[in-house]
Amino acid sequence: MDKFKIQEDQYAFPYHYIASLTNNIPSINKKLSWGFEYITYIDFVRTYIEQKIQPSSLLDIGCGDGYLVNSLAYDQSKQIKGIDLSERAIGFAKAFSNGYEFECVDLFKIDQKFHVVCLIEVLEHISEDFILSFVDESFSKVEMGGYMIISVPTTVEKVNKKHYRHYDELLLERQINQPEFEVIGQFRIYKKSRLLEKLIKFSQKRNSKTIKRMVWNWHKNNTYYADKNTGKHLVAIYQRTS
């Protein structure tokens, strides 16, 4: 089955919005197993963008239903845009939009440059024969001094049926190969932990904001960050230097 179609079929519903994080209280409806994991790497990326970069413009490539973009603090003076090839996903992104722009358009038709470009859980969806040209085109959208933020699933977990590959630091380095950019940070996010899984299930059953906040705080101190043996997601930050 075509991997794009597998992903497209999942957009029968804006499923990323089922999981949310507000005031350090995770809300994972329908007891989704991936929800806590998802809001962890999204929280990391969002916090990095808002607190460390504070970009004047941002392009989220492969934005899906727009959850990351729509979770950013709205500022109409900034050019924030999400693009995706799925018309259905972009429809959901627009429906939840807080004012930012979304467009169903091919990356190769974007001729602007941005302060920040994001590829959040996107590269694993790109086929082997297209990955290098896709990476080159994505990095070409970053303005001088700007940043590329990449998040990918790691080899800690087996490859999902809708993915072509999972990553470690070496594979990501080989596929990026952008001499005009400097790696300024690499982070392993979300430690695989049976105890965390039990705590998440307990907090869902109790459905108490206090317990959910306590579990999230425990997670931030114990399993939010990880190492190469346990981290289920790899986030890499690049800055354009030439």
Please state, in angstroms and rounded to a whole number, the distance separating the CA atoms of residues 110 and 196. Answer: 41
State pTM to two decimals. 0.89
* pLDDT 10s digits, 69-126: 999 999 999 999 999 999 999 999 999 998 999 999 999 999 999 999 999 999 999 9
Nearest residue to 58 via CA among 131, 122, 123, 120:
120
User: What per-residue confidence (pLDDT) applies to 118?
Assistant: 98
User: What per-residue confidence (pLDDT) applies to 34?
Assistant: 76
* Contact assessment for residue 227 and residue 35, using Cβ atoms and an 8 Å cutoff: no
User: What per-residue confidence (pLDDT) applies to 22?
Assistant: 78
Place 18 in a pLDDT band, splitting at 50, 70 and 90.
low
* Contact assessment for residue 3 and residue 62, using Cβ atoms and an 8 Å cutoff: no
* pLDDT 10s digits, 156-214: 999 999 999 999 999 999 999 999 999 999 999 999 899 999 999 898 888 798 999 99
* pLDDT 10s digits, 48-65: 999 999 999 999 999 999
Instruction: Put the strands of the sheet holding 181-191 in their side by side order.
Output: 101-104, 79-84, 57-61, 114-120, 142-153, 231-240, 181-191
User: What per-residue confidence (pLDDT) applies to 4?
Assistant: 63
Which two tokens mark 11? 């957009």
Output the CA torsion sign for 10, 11, 16, 18. negative
Parallel/antiparallel/unpaired status of strands 142-153 and 231-240? antiparallel
Which two tokens mark 72? 């950013």
